[in-house]
Each structure stands twice: as structure tokens, then as C-alpha cells.
Amino acid sequence: MPVKKKGDIVEGFQVMAEVGRGAASIIYLVRDPKTAQVWALKHVEKQTEKDQRFLDQAEAEAKVARAIDHPGIRQISKVIKKGSFLAVKELYLLMEFVDGVSLEKHPPETFERGVELFLQTAEALSAMHEAGYVHADMKPSNIVVTDDQHVKVIDLGQSCAIGTVKPRIQGTPDYIAPEQVHRRPITPRTDVYNFGATMYWVLTRQHVPTALAKGDSLVGSLDDNLITKPKPTIELNPRVHPKLDELVMQCVEVEPEKRPPSMHEVADRLNLILGILRAKSGSSRAGFDAINDEE
């Protein structure tokens, strides 16, 4: 894939910098010369037949983003296709530029701030579910916090309609739900699990055991009972509030029926926990990285 340089004009937009790469894509920071507005421009190119799925994912990403009207979900303004009607060879997604840092690169420093960000994320995902879609790849790197401390959920490339059964395993090994590994229907409770695994990592800096070990090897085949149960977050970080620990551990239950039934309920419980933390006089402000703090 030819790489664009600073100053190049691509589909009427001026390239300012390259900001990311995927398996078959490059994301550029671009500027509209007419309005001076800054965007993110994702370029996906089909070089082999195996790359068709990346084009399909990009189109699906745009479809999902357009179906959701929520400030916590990154918006996609335009899809530009190149090639013939029957054989699209490449496309561009003109996306909202999100100026911020992911939870993976900069986890929150206090419990109160962390729960605030968790709550914003849960509300955004709840809106997605209400629109009929599941994100299906929630993880710390897909939660971006802007300078004004607002959450943006990004990367809808693996999102799908509620109830979808995918023909191939898709997800991130450290956060993937058992039903994703075993090719069962993807539901809002799949996002509950992925999000629970995300909160678990933020609180403990450790990953939950999942059905897909790194290296794409299955754990326990189709027997979910063989998946090791994660240690409670409160055992790894004693400063975690018991109600927050209870919520996270319920979210990462192997059986979907044992998880909270909806992201709306997760958000309600996070809102309650946030109220409890704010009511405390300073004790909620211990850092997440205080596992080895002897104070």
C-alpha cells in the first residue's frame, strides 16, 4: 500500500501525519483545505483476496457508526469507494478525529476517575445496543479519553448486529468472551464480558483467563467449565471497593446468563458506585497502581 506523505492531497484532504496502521489499513490525520476542519482518514486497500474481509469490516464499521447517535461513539462522516461497482479495490473512511489517549496508554489515576470513565463507556455501549449492535471488541485501547475527560469508543470494525453468529473467531485474546471463541450468537452480554475484562485490567493490571490463549489456541475446547476463574479484583488490589469488585466479577462470568443482563444495568450500578466513592472523604483517591504500595 503506497504511503502518503505530509502535504499530499488524498480525496480532497491534505495529509498532516500518519497516526495508525492495521493489517490492511493506514489512518491519517488530514485537514479539509476549504474549512480547515481536521479529520481522521482511514485508508483500506485490497491487495489479495484475503483482504476482502478488511474492506467488508470497514463498510460495516461505517454502517454501525451511522446507526448510533451518541457522543461517546466515534462518528464516521463519509465512505469513499474506489474501483468499479462490482469490484471495490480500496476505500476511505472519513472519521471524527478523536484527540486523546487510550486507557491502555494512560489508565486513570484514581478510583473515582476510573469509575467515571467506566460509566461513560457503559452509557455509550448501552446506546449501541439500543441501536441493535454489539461492539464485540471492547478493550482498553478502544476507549479513548479526550483532553476534556470525555470517553470516545472507537474501532467498530468487528461490530455486528445483535444475535450474529460469526463464521470465524474475532476478538482480542485477553478480552474475548467464550461465546466469541465458540462461534455462538454475539449479544449485548458479549460486550458486558469484554468490558468487564477491560475494567479488570484497569483495576489490577492483569488479564482474565479467556477461552482463547495468545497464539489463537483454544482453551478447554467447547467446555466452558475448563476456563480458569479469575481471582477477584479485590484480592489483587485490596483498595477496590467491594461493590465494584462484585460488578466486575459478575461481568466476566463465563456463562452469559450469569452476567448482568444489559449494559444499562452495568451503567446504573457504576453510577451507584461512583456516588459511594464521591461520598467518601478522600479514601477513594488511592491510585490503581497501589497494589504494592505499603502505605
Give all strands (DSSP E) within the chain, no chain letters. 9-10, 13-21, 25-31, 38-45, 76-83, 88-96, 100-102, 133-134, 143-146, 151-153, 160-161, 212-213, 217-218
Q: What is the pLDDT of residue 214?
A: 57
Return the percentage of the chain with pLDDT > 70, whole number: 89
Inter-CA distances, 282 with 180, 220, 267, 286, Å: 40, 44, 23, 8
Instruction: State the cell numbers at 139.
Output: 478493550
pLDDT at position 130: 97
Question: 248-264: per-residue pLDDT in tens?
Answer: 999 999 999 999 999 99
User: pLDDT class for 15, splitting at 50, 70, 90?
Assistant: very high
pLDDT of residue 50: 84
User: What strand order describes the sheet that includes 88-96?
Assistant: 9-10, 13-21, 25-31, 38-45, 88-96, 76-83
Residues 6+ apart with CB under 8 A from 53: none
Residues 111-124: tens digit of each pLDDT:
999 999 999 999 99
**The predicted structure's pLDDT at residue 280:** 80
Cell matching residue 95: 472519521
- pLDDT tens, 121-179? 999 999 999 999 999 999 999 999 999 999 999 999 899 999 999 998 899 999 999 99
Question: Residue 13: is its pLDDT beyond 80?
Answer: yes
- Residues 183 and 186: their CA atoms lie apart, in Å, by 8
Question: What confidence score (pLDDT) does residue 158 get?
Answer: 93
The secondary structure element, H or E, covering residue 120 is helix 111-130
Q: Is the dihedral of CA 236, 240, 243, 245 positive or negative?
A: negative
Above pLDDT 90, what percent of the chain?
Answer: 75
DSSP letter string, 173-234 = TTT--HHHHTTPPP-HHHHHHHHHHHHHHHHHS-PPP-SEETTTEESSTT-GGGSPPPPPHH
**DSSP secondary structure code for residue 4 in this structure:** P
For residues 283 and 196, give the distance between their C-alpha atoms in angstroms, rounded to a whole number: 24
Question: Three cell numbers at 58?
Answer: 470497514
Return the closest-CA partner of residue 205 out of 290, 120, 115. Answer: 290
Are 74 and 95 in contact by the 8 Å Cβ rule? The answer is yes
pLDDT tens-digit map of 181-240 = 999 999 999 999 999 999 999 999 999 999 876 555 555 444 556 688 999 999 999 999
Q: Are 121 and 191 in contact (CB under 8 A)?
A: no
How far is it, in rounded angstroms, from Cα 133 to Cα 95? 19
Domains and CATH numbers, the chain: 9-96 (3.30.200.20), 100-285 (1.10.510.10)
Q: What's the Cα-to-Cα distance from 225 to each of 11, 20, 48, 146, 255, rounded to whole Å? A: 52, 38, 39, 40, 9
Q: Model pTM?
A: 0.89
Residue 277 phi/psi, 5-degree rounding, is: -65, -40
